[in-house]
Amino acid sequence: MYLSLFCLCVTSAASSTTSLWGKKALFNFRPCVWQLQPGAVVPALEELTVCIQLRYTLATQWTGFAYKAPGVIATELGLGGTRTQLTVWMFGGEWHFNRELRENEWHSFCLTWSSQAPKVNVYINGTFQHGFQMNRSLPERLAPNGTLTLGVSHYVDVNGEVHLETGSNLVGEIGLFRMWAREWRAEELREQSCADGDVVSWDLQQWKYGCSPVSDSSLQCGKCNITFLSSSLTCLALTLTNSHTGTIVVS
């Protein structure tokens, strides 16, 4: 059973040559562009989940991602932090909470939101950390068709060109970025831990980049792309199979 699942997994990863699973984006002192393709449209979401996996090597203020509404300077949705604090931006507002986030370690962050609550929930490494209650006067939808950058914030000039904002850019790497049009609950998040996003996926078809992605066999889920299968089973299969070859894939 595991063997057949593993084969499906490999077939799916191999059939999509644009897949970024098993690859990461590197960010040096000079920030690199990793931008959502202008053709990849983020809809007006009434609920959402965003997950990003990152590791920073320089313990200054860093940015995980920043999504900006068309023509708006403030951040519509974003995540950043320092060694001791995590920051969430939404609808131009900013929320913080204290948490030790060690450098040189992979952290997996997920944000979930729905206009019903309205509340932003933060998960780290799959565990619920904090819920930010939002003011009901805030918008009930995420502004659509915005611009999204990884590892650094940005602004858009009058010609529609995206410029990076240095100063709080990430020096480190990003191993996954995914976005869904659903507010996953804690147990659903676990099921999605190795599944691709339905709004933004970890696939080159959706990203415009200035620095090429780099393979890393130690990344969570590896090349496992299981949008169409139960994620945990397939990744378990991949983990077991890889353990024979000496590679350990954490899933």
Ligand X SMILES: *[C@@H]1O[C@H](CO)[C@@H](O)[C@H](O)[C@H]1NC(C)=O
- Smallest gap, in angstroms, from Cβ of residue 18 to ligand X? 7
Contact mark string toward ligand X, 18..57, x via CB under 6 A: -x-x-------------------x----------------
Taking the least distance from each CB to ligand X, the nearer of 37 and 165 is 37
* Segment 163 to 222, residues that bind ligand X, using CB under 6 A: 196, 201-203
Cβ closest to ligand X, residue 227 vs residue 242: 227
Q: Tell me which residue has its CB nearest to ligand X.
A: 19
Q: Is 124 exposed, middle or buried (0-12, 13-18, 19+ CB in 10 A)?
A: middle
How many residues bind ligand X (CB under 6 A)? The answer is 24
Contact set for ligand X, span 74-103 (CB under 6 A): 101-102
Residue 135 Cβ vs ligand X, minimum distance, rounded to whole Å: 4
> Is residue 137 a contact residue for ligand X (CB under 6 A)?
yes
Residue 31 or 120 having the CB closest to ligand X: 120
